[in-house]
Amino acid sequence: MTARIERPLSPHMQVYRWTLTMALSIVHRATGIALYFGTLLLAWWLIAAASGPGAYANVQAFTGSIIGKLIVFGYTWALMHHLLSGLRHLVWDLGYGFKANEREALTWGALIGGISLTVLVWIAAYAIGGGR
Amino acid sequence: MSINESHGSPKPPSMRTPLGRVRSLGSSHSGTTDFWRQRITAVAMTLLIVPVIVVVLMLLGRNQAGAAQILGSLPIAIILLLFIVASAWHMKIGMQVVIEDYIHNEKLKLASVMANNFFSVAVALASIYAILKLSSGV
């Protein structure tokens, strides 16, 4: 095992021209990691609801603060983006959408759709929650 | 049988098909199980995301008593339980892929994969317990 064999290496990412699909591949992974830790917020909120008024008020104080709102807004976008970007992967899994224009369209769709859905959800949230 | 003896003799013919040989195998000997489960949970969450968002919107601006009443109702509890199980499973598999991609130190990798399992199970069980507690009204 001591002898190292000189194997050919595949060129690493930096030699390639940046493409949208490459960037969005990284964003898909990054949003996945963010959502992973974001589940802590979801668990905290559910446990607080099950614990009592004091614990729930703490969650509401946090989600009502500026930093809390930013985190929940970011969580919403990460969820919406990861959802649409993931659907794009399912389309690819089925064997469709591999032509250059198709994969570009799918990727733009995930990017724009994710932002649009996030804004829509927040408009709905303010329309519903703002009234109470 | 020594290596020299086996070297010259032809291999005995195998009845196994190439597909049979690779199915359920691979470098991890667990085959495509994780790949497939990642897709099942992804599709499950795609189906559940609209009801889940509706539930969250219903809870906005309510106090604990109001939220507990909504979360404790049977259809909502079931929707959330399904979503929690699917998401915990999905994120466990996803994070394991990330760990295996970036952590090359074997011991650190094993520790990270374990921590990932603990985290995912703990988050899921804590959330499930909270919903069951709300549903039973204790």
Q: What is the pLDDT of residues B99-112, one digit of tens each?
A: 999 999 999 999 99
Judge: A39–B87 Cβ closer than 8 Å, yes or no. yes
Alpha carbon distance A103, A85 (integer Å): 11
Judge: B91–A32 Cβ closer than 8 Å, yes or no. yes
CB proximity list for B82: less than 8 A, separation 6 or greater: B44, B48
Taking one residue from A and the other from B, the number of pairs with CB-CB distance under 8 angstroms is 87
Sign for the pseudo-dihedral over CA of A30, A34, A37, A43? negative
Q: How far is A99 from chain B (nearest CA, A)?
A: 23
- Residue of A43, A50, A90 lying closest to B133 (CB–CB): A50
Closest CA to A79 of B48, B34, B85, B33: B48
Tracing tokens 């690779």 back to the chain, one arrives at B22
Q: How far is CA B2 from the centre of its chain?
A: 45
Give per-residue pLDDT as tens, A20-62.
999 999 999 999 999 999 999 999 999 999 999 999 999 999 9
- Given CATH 1.20.1300.10, say whether it is the number of domain B31-136: yes
CB atoms within 10 A of CB A38: 19
- Residue of B87, B94, B130 lying closest to A49 (CB–CB): B130
| pTM given for the model | 0.84
ipTM above 0.90, yes or no: no
